[in-house]
Structure 1
């Protein structure tokens, strides 16, 4: 009601303001019309004066008898024939337009006419024609081009409407005014007319009074209309509040129904609310008979509430209950209302209220019908809840099982699986991801890549996130992640996660560590490359060795046939020495190609190494310290012992050449438990090998030494011997940090 009162106040104020604005506009418009009436009167006087002036000017002037009221015009003294005598002897004087107009204005003032005129000029010939203040301002306006000036002014203490127009110099005017310097077309003055204000103001007053009375009556009728509308609105508001009370009652019942899981509890709350709203003294819910004969059976098992009063007898309600169950609609009797509970087209029960003083109304019928609907919802919900509860445990168990399976799959996946929001913050990480970064998942979630990766790697990861979001599909990328112990190579696929409306809300990534795979691929490529080089080197070495055999044989025969003092013996000796060096080179090529004839046998590598110690010390020189660590139980090996010795010698020579200023050479031999073979480790403290040179160190003729310092076949021969005996060789090196070779030979198992 308070809002309705505010609305009525606003409407009354608005109507008052509208009426006031309308009155003000009409008064203003009436004032303008009155002003225009005065202007019209003044214009009529001016038009008459100007017309008379033009006629007199066109005729050249008029002659009138001279008398006290019409003396000769002193300003026409220089005009010939100003004064004449008629044949009758009467004396006549010339009357020009200005003189005529002035005499007419003076006559009008003497006669007391309301409208009066006046001739004036800023340079008058007569002092009486001098302008007053208002006329002077009007004359200056004419000089600026204004054609007419009008307005209210006080003349002789009385308010009048004045209107003035300019007078331009014409040919007839120059007879009197040429001496003043006027030229044809100049503005030499003005003629004005003034209208008394009292009649006009009286018209304006009557207009204001009539408008005020009319608007007052209209305003009063408007207020009466507003009052009538407010009264109707109040009545409508009361009806609305009554209806809202009904709805509130239903809502109260609904609030009672929704929290209850058991129908009996909800039914009691509904009955209490229904009794309280309708004013009934008793109420109950009764179940209908089964077997589809509800309309024929008496409602059985009525359960009156403990606090309910006595209700009507069931026999008296038999016909009403049958009708309500058959039609599915509420039935109103004088002292009872029966409303069926309808669920999916069936009416399993009735809501009955009775005992209202004065009987039930149609409004009560609607309320009871609404509560019956709530009871139907409560009954249906109760049945549904029972079904849901019956399956809930099974569904929960299934959900937990599936969730556990999915979590187990994610946590046991070797790939790193994670999800990030659109800002790059982690939403989820699996166990592999957490273990890779050595942090529990709860410390990773909510952070970004920059918390775990270097700046460049984090920016690359964020860029791939944006590509996946923009493309809407999977994006593949090769990532290199710096970690302790070396960079890790990862193959990552990222794809967007979308909600039910197709909007991207996150990015999922799956990263697989491919470091070992790429390392194996590189080793396979290296092995294939060296195998091809070995085959090529073996073929060349065989053919070259055959040629060397012929050269050595004929050179030997030639040397034997030469006298001891022959100067050719030294030349032939050079040939034989060069052939021997070439033969040594072919043997190393054959060793690399694994095509050299060997005599394998079983031996203990520890004994072979001990026999080589003296030779190794002489080979590497005194400026290099030799450290040996040889396990006596290493082996046995099954290979040509000379090949084993060649591997050690070549690795020692390679280490010596890397330490020209001295250093330490470590040799270790032991059984390699994980691999099940014999490990030979050779480590030096030399200059190391550049990273870009590592893939080529086993290539034939590849060397980092100067020209003439080596043929580049030492490591190639080692590689060939290792491959021929089904072993492996690995190298680790960095500039300035030395080099380590790890050679593994298969161990000969006892028969």
Structure 2
């Protein structure tokens, strides 16, 4: 506002200066016009006199004057009769016409040095001396255009003069001399001018300008003083207004001090400062009252003053006032102090005291102090309520922190991945398991979408399940496979919408559990159950078949004993007995597979077992398949039932043979597996291979890729069961048209 006043003062001063300057300019201009008019008046007077004299002379027919050196006969009146006459006294007289008289008067005036002079002129003068100068010629042309009078400033003989000229019209008396020039009555024959010296007029103008300048300067100065006085009054008024606003602001500041979030001590300090500042008191404090009467007076005399409170009024000056204030609940005014009680619910627990104002306190001060005491009462009451609220809030905060900590611990230590996403699919929250699964800290995940962590197809499936949860308004279950390094992970996810207090969905929460191991165990359990079923089936068949084999072996033995040594049938019976023994061995393996017959594990060298099976393997796979063996002699030893080992080799060889109906190569490698610390059996064929989608099921019982009647699907499941029974592992690599490789690893163990 002060800056605005300064601008206003500047604008007012500039405006007043401009107005004074304009007034001075107008007055100077008006004075100059008046001076010019005075000069014109003088010139007109001269012209009026000359014209009046000319008219009188013309009416009288002319005057006769004695001829002399100064007045010779007028040569231009030579043709005029009686131009020259002789008086009875003998003196010679000559006729003086108006023009001659006027010219002689003008010449006489110039000789006498009179300031005002005149001149007769014409554009067609008879006398060369009457020829016009430049100014007169222009004036004569103006007369021809109808102008009645021409005046103006001009320089004559190097001096500035005011010149005024009027036209001379042809009259009857003029035609005696000028008729020969072609003039007619009423024509403009010429002009008569008068010139007034400029110096007296300019001196008058100068004195006028000086007087106007001085007057306007004094007026301008008084105007500036008036503006300065007005601005000073406005500034003083503005300062009073700002002071009043400051007082109101202080009162508002004191009011803000009682807001519930402020402690009473803080509010009381600000209230005291504002009260002292507005009232002009030099000191003030708040005193707690423990009761009425003298007890209260003692507390006031020895106040529990706040740190910035000034020295309080004397005890003697307040005697009796405190008791009255506490009893009535109203402010009390003394000469040098004001006491205002803090009233809360009908009780006065404290007093607000201010003192030391120069000139004493007024009734207005009493009301102000009483108002501040009311603010202090509100502050004290709010402070007590605030303490109760804060105590309750602290308890609630402690409970919330406890529950929040518990919930956070549950979320962080939960093996499930828990997360929340907004309606745009951006993550709002993820727990520790989620962050660890994606190998990223939570703050790098929040704000991003599934596309930042999942392949496009998986991200689309996740987004689709989000939409289903939002649309359904309830939980949605989904199984999904997430590609990860080291193998895909199977997850079971439940998603449900999160709603606000008005029931609007604002987010989706998801809980994903990794069920990869569980599904793997379920698959193994299912495989074990199938193997158990297969074992029961094979055990039943083996029991019945073993009974038949016993009869065959018995009768074949009896038959062999009854044949003479040179009988050609002995070799045939021997073949029967050998085949029965092999069938019996197969039966024992089936019984071992079905666990109806206990296996007999023992330590043996697998290389020797393989060499013993070479002849049988070549017969088994046929001549159209080349068998390549690479058996390390130091392989093993193994600790298992040798018949189970032989069954694994035979089943893998048969499987390879069936994959190469047109012939091929079967490679078998046996060596110690250094990284795993066991024995590696590798069986590779160059057959047709196995389709990728069939690989997960090749060890299932009764699963086969062969045609109808070409296989029962029990060979590889039996191999898998034997490997699992002996705590080994089996892997397969295959592709259509590129053959198949089985890698079987058996641990090396010592007997217990």
What TM-score comes out, normalization by structure 1 length?
A: 0.54
d(CA) in 1 for partners of 2:507, 2:260: 37
d(CA) in 1 for partners of 2:449, 2:714: 52
Q: Contact conserved, 2:636 with 2:679, CA < 8 A, in 1?
A: yes
Which 10-residue stretch deviates more, 204-213 or 535-544?
204-213
Q: Evaluate the alpha carbon distance shift between residue 138 and residue 513 of structure 1 in structure 2; reply closer, same or farther with a 3 A threshold.
A: farther
d(CA) in 1 for partners of 2:531, 2:617: 28
Q: Evaluate the alpha carbon distance shift between residue 159 and residue 435 of structure 1 in structure 2; reply closer, same or farther with a 3 A threshold.
A: farther
Shift of 1:421: 1.8
Q: Evaluate the alpha carbon distance shift between residue 127 and residue 738 of structure 1 in structure 2; reply closer, same or farther with a 3 A threshold.
A: farther
Shift of 1:519: 0.9
Shift of 1:410: 3.8
Shift of 1:673: 10
d(CA) in 2 for partners of 1:547, 1:96: 194
Shift of 1:418: 1.9
Shift of 1:479: 1.9
Counterpart of 2:534 in structure 1 is 533
d(CA) in 1 for partners of 2:684, 2:511: 40
d(CA) in 1 for partners of 2:103, 2:471: 97
d(CA) in 2 for partners of 1:607, 1:189: 167
Shift of 1:705: 3.0
Counterpart of 2:257 in structure 1 is 256
SS at match of 1:293: helix
Q: Contact conserved, 1:594 with 1:724, CA < 8 A, in 2?
A: no
Counterpart of 1:374 in structure 2 is 375
Q: Evaluate the alpha carbon distance shift between residue 92 and residue 511 of structure 1 in structure 2; reply closer, same or farther with a 3 A threshold.
A: farther
Shift of 1:312: 5.8
d(CA) in 2 for partners of 1:57, 1:460: 133
Q: Evaluate the alpha carbon distance shift between residue 263 and residue 718 of structure 1 in structure 2; reply closer, same or farther with a 3 A threshold.
A: closer
| Deviation sequence 1:52-85 (CA, Å, 0-9, x none) | 9999999999999999999999999999999999
Shift of 1:512: 1.4
Shift of 1:426: 0.9
Q: Evaluate the alpha carbon distance shift between residue 268 and residue 571 of structure 1 in structure 2; reply closer, same or farther with a 3 A threshold.
A: closer
Shift of 1:34: 67
Q: Contact conserved, 1:589 with 1:717, CA < 8 A, in 2?
A: no
Shift of 1:525: 0.9
d(CA) in 1 for partners of 2:678, 2:457: 43
d(CA) in 1 for partners of 2:548, 2:596: 18
d(CA) in 1 for partners of 2:506, 2:718: 60
Q: Contact conserved, 1:545 with 1:586, CA < 8 A, in 2?
A: yes
d(CA) in 2 for partners of 1:134, 1:377: 98
Q: Contact conserved, 1:288 with 1:300, CA < 8 A, in 2?
A: no
Q: Contact conserved, 2:260 with 2:379, CA < 8 A, in 1?
A: no
Q: Contact conserved, 2:451 with 2:459, CA < 8 A, in 1?
A: yes
Counterpart of 1:600 in structure 2 is 601
Q: Which runs of 5+ in 1 are unaligned?
A: none
Q: Contact conserved, 2:297 with 2:315, CA < 8 A, in 1?
A: no
Q: Contact conserved, 1:419 with 1:509, CA < 8 A, in 2?
A: yes
| Deviation sequence 1:507-533 (CA, Å, 0-9, x none) | 322211101110110110111122012
Which 10-residue stretch deviates more, 90-99 or 524-533?
90-99
Q: Contact conserved, 2:163 with 2:194, CA < 8 A, in 1?
A: yes
Q: Evaluate the alpha carbon distance shift between residue 339 and residue 526 of structure 1 in structure 2; reply closer, same or farther with a 3 A threshold.
A: same
Q: Contact conserved, 2:535 with 2:593, CA < 8 A, in 1?
A: yes
Q: Evaluate the alpha carbon distance shift between residue 212 and residue 677 of structure 1 in structure 2; reply closer, same or farther with a 3 A threshold.
A: farther
SS at match of 1:299: helix
| Deviation sequence 1:114-154 (CA, Å, 0-9, x none) | 99999999999999999999999999999999999999999
Q: Evaluate the alpha carbon distance shift between residue 329 and residue 405 of structure 1 in structure 2; reply closer, same or farther with a 3 A threshold.
A: same
Q: Contact conserved, 2:285 with 2:310, CA < 8 A, in 1?
A: no
Q: Evaluate the alpha carbon distance shift between residue 683 and residue 325 of structure 1 in structure 2; reply closer, same or farther with a 3 A threshold.
A: farther
Q: Contact conserved, 2:293 with 2:323, CA < 8 A, in 1?
A: no
Q: Evaluate the alpha carbon distance shift between residue 208 and residue 309 of structure 1 in structure 2; reply closer, same or farther with a 3 A threshold.
A: closer
Shift of 1:449: 0.9
SS at match of 2:730: strand
| Deviation sequence 1:633-658 (CA, Å, 0-9, x none) | 87654332232122123224424544
Q: Evaluate the alpha carbon distance shift between residue 735 and residue 594 of structure 1 in structure 2; reply closer, same or farther with a 3 A threshold.
A: farther
Which 10-residue stretch deviates more, 170-179 or 431-440?
170-179
SS at match of 1:671: strand
Alpha carbon RMSD of aligned pairs, Å?
Answer: 15.0
Q: Contact conserved, 2:301 with 2:315, CA < 8 A, in 1?
A: no
Shift of 1:535: 0.5
Counterpart of 1:191 in structure 2 is 192
Q: Evaluate the alpha carbon distance shift between residue 514 and residue 106 of structure 1 in structure 2; reply closer, same or farther with a 3 A threshold.
A: farther
Shift of 1:420: 1.5
d(CA) in 2 for partners of 1:143, 1:558: 182
Q: Evaluate the alpha carbon distance shift between residue 42 and residue 587 of structure 1 in structure 2; reply closer, same or farther with a 3 A threshold.
A: farther
Q: Contact conserved, 1:588 with 1:717, CA < 8 A, in 2?
A: no
Q: Contact conserved, 2:625 with 2:666, CA < 8 A, in 1?
A: yes
Which 10-residue stretch deviates more, 491-500 or 136-145?
136-145
Shift of 1:458: 1.9
SS at match of 1:63: strand
Paired residues for 1:334-733 under 5 Å? 336-342=337-343, 347-354=348-355, 364-376=365-377, 409-499=410-500, 503-550=504-551, 586=587, 589-596=590-597, 598-605=599-606, 608=609, 636-658=637-659, 682=683, 687-690=688-691, 693-694=694-695, 697-698=698-699, 702-706=703-707, 712-722=713-723, 725=726
Q: Evaluate the alpha carbon distance shift between residue 358 and residue 556 of structure 1 in structure 2; reply closer, same or farther with a 3 A threshold.
A: same
Q: Contact conserved, 1:153 with 1:162, CA < 8 A, in 2?
A: yes
Q: Contact conserved, 1:281 with 1:308, CA < 8 A, in 2?
A: no
Q: Contact conserved, 2:140 with 2:167, CA < 8 A, in 1?
A: yes
Q: Evaluate the alpha carbon distance shift between residue 312 and residue 110 of structure 1 in structure 2; reply closer, same or farther with a 3 A threshold.
A: closer
d(CA) in 1 for partners of 2:169, 2:567: 155
Q: Evaluate the alpha carbon distance shift between residue 91 and residue 354 of structure 1 in structure 2; reply closer, same or farther with a 3 A threshold.
A: closer
Q: Evaluate the alpha carbon distance shift between residue 559 and residue 610 of structure 1 in structure 2; reply closer, same or farther with a 3 A threshold.
A: closer
d(CA) in 2 for partners of 1:27, 1:17: 15
Q: Contact conserved, 2:292 with 2:327, CA < 8 A, in 1?
A: no
Shift of 1:325: 2.8
Q: Contact conserved, 2:625 with 2:665, CA < 8 A, in 1?
A: yes
d(CA) in 2 for partners of 1:541, 1:295: 113
Which 10-residue stretch deviates more, 550-559 or 56-65?
56-65
Shift of 1:469: 3.8
d(CA) in 2 for partners of 1:171, 1:618: 178
Q: Contact conserved, 2:66 with 2:92, CA < 8 A, in 1?
A: yes
d(CA) in 2 for partners of 1:81, 1:595: 195
Q: Contact conserved, 2:469 with 2:508, CA < 8 A, in 1?
A: yes
Q: Evaluate the alpha carbon distance shift between residue 222 and residue 547 of structure 1 in structure 2; reply closer, same or farther with a 3 A threshold.
A: farther
| Deviation sequence 1:442-498 (CA, Å, 0-9, x none) | 332211112222333223222332344455554332222233443211112233445
Q: Which runs of 5+ in 2 are unaligned?
A: none
Which 10-residue stretch deviates more, 478-487 or 738-747?
738-747
Shift of 1:425: 0.4
| Deviation sequence 1:613-667 (CA, Å, 0-9, x none) | 7876887789989898988887654332232122123224424544568888776
Q: Evaluate the alpha carbon distance shift between residue 273 and residue 141 of structure 1 in structure 2; reply closer, same or farther with a 3 A threshold.
A: same
SS at match of 2:298: coil
d(CA) in 1 for partners of 2:79, 2:620: 156
Shift of 1:399: 8.4
Q: Evaluate the alpha carbon distance shift between residue 469 and residue 630 of structure 1 in structure 2; reply closer, same or farther with a 3 A threshold.
A: farther
Q: Contact conserved, 2:260 with 2:386, CA < 8 A, in 1?
A: no
Q: Evaluate the alpha carbon distance shift between residue 353 and residue 100 of structure 1 in structure 2; reply closer, same or farther with a 3 A threshold.
A: same
| Deviation sequence 1:596-622 (CA, Å, 0-9, x none) | 565432234466457667876887789
| Deviation sequence 1:373-402 (CA, Å, 0-9, x none) | 433455577789999999999999998888
d(CA) in 2 for partners of 1:509, 1:565: 86
SS at match of 2:295: coil
| Deviation sequence 1:348-390 (CA, Å, 0-9, x none) | 4311235668876776545323322433455577789999999
d(CA) in 2 for partners of 1:343, 1:511: 59
Which 10-residue stretch deviates more, 82-91 or 203-212?
82-91
